Amino acid sequence: MSSPAEEHRRVADAFTTTVEGVVPEAWEQPAPPDGWVARDVVRHLVEWLPAFLQGAAGITLPAGPSVDDDPVGAWRTQTDAVQTLLDDADTADREHDLPHIGRMPLGQAIDMIYTSDVFLHRWDLARATGQDETLDPDKCAAMLEGMLPMDEVLRQSGEYGARVDVPDDADVQTKLLAFIGRTP
């Protein structure tokens, strides 16, 4: 099992490749979830985590450019800052009482709620911008296995759409995306 720092590096690198692959005119293409455009996928990731870290742990991430002006720069600034946090054992291993998830090391919390979010939203950005939508099947399987028992809680959070029906023999990526409310 990889550390939160290693996992973030791997997942964020894949997302960075997708962000950097967006041609300028594609930033306004419709993206999952409904009502978003490609730029909003990056906006979501660079807006919620800094607010969470500030409120839960008193950590202020450096501000990058606006997603409206420079989505690639906004993403790079954030992903570099998060990687720096995770690479610092004193910060990553420090425990915090975190809203909705309890007491745990910051690195574990970032891995659980943010790195997973980056992983899933890479599909959204790739779908919106016509890039390779393939996700790591092992990570898909692990995430799906972990999420299935929390189905009701996840639906009540409002963060996931209604589950989409897919054939029983669908691949694990399709099953995971359908579970979170995407139509693969």
For the cut 90, the answer to whether the pLDDT of residue 101 exceeds it is no
State the Cα–Cα distance between residues 90 and 124, nearest whole angstrom: 33
% of the chain exceeding 70 in pLDDT? 100
Residue 111 confidence (pLDDT): 95
For 38, 80, 106, the CA distances from 131, given in Å and listed in that order, are 12, 23, 32
Token pair in block for residue 164: 């989409």
State the Cα–Cα distance between residues 6 and 29, nearest whole angstrom: 31
Nearest to 121 by CA among 51, 18, 22: 18
Instruction: Give start and end residues of each alpha helix (H) in 110-150.
Output: 116-129, 137-147
DSSP track, 161-182: -PPPP--TT--HHHHHHHHTT-
Residue 98 confidence (pLDDT): 79
What is the CB-side half-sphere exposure of residue 35 using CA atoms within 13 A? 2
Residue 90 confidence (pLDDT): 94
- Residues 28-41: tens digit of each pLDDT: 999 998 899 999 99
Rounded to the nearest integer, the mean pLDDT of the chain is: 94
Residue 99 confidence (pLDDT): 75
Residue 158, C-beta contacts closer than 8 angstroms, at least 6 positions apart: none
CATH number of 4-133: 1.20.120.450
State the Cα–Cα distance between residues 41 and 27, nearest whole angstrom: 10
State the Cα–Cα distance between residues 67 and 78, nearest whole angstrom: 11
Mean pLDDT for 104-110 is 94
Whole-structure pTM value? 0.94
| CATH 1.20.120.450 placement within the chain | 4-133
Which DSSP letter does residue 171 get? Answer: -
For the cut 80, the answer to whether the pLDDT of residue 100 exceeds it is no
Residue 56 confidence (pLDDT): 87
For the cut 80, the answer to whether the pLDDT of residue 60 exceeds it is yes
Check: CB of residue 74 under 8 Å from CB of residue 46. Answer: yes
Mean pLDDT for 63-67 is 96
For the cut 90, the answer to whether the pLDDT of residue 118 exceeds it is yes
- Residues 120-168: tens digit of each pLDDT: 999 999 999 999 999 999 999 999 999 999 888 887 877 888 899 999 9
Check: CB of residue 49 under 8 Å from CB of residue 114. Answer: yes
State the Cα–Cα distance between residues 66 and 84, nearest whole angstrom: 21
Residue 58 confidence (pLDDT): 92
Token pair in block for residue 170: 């669908």
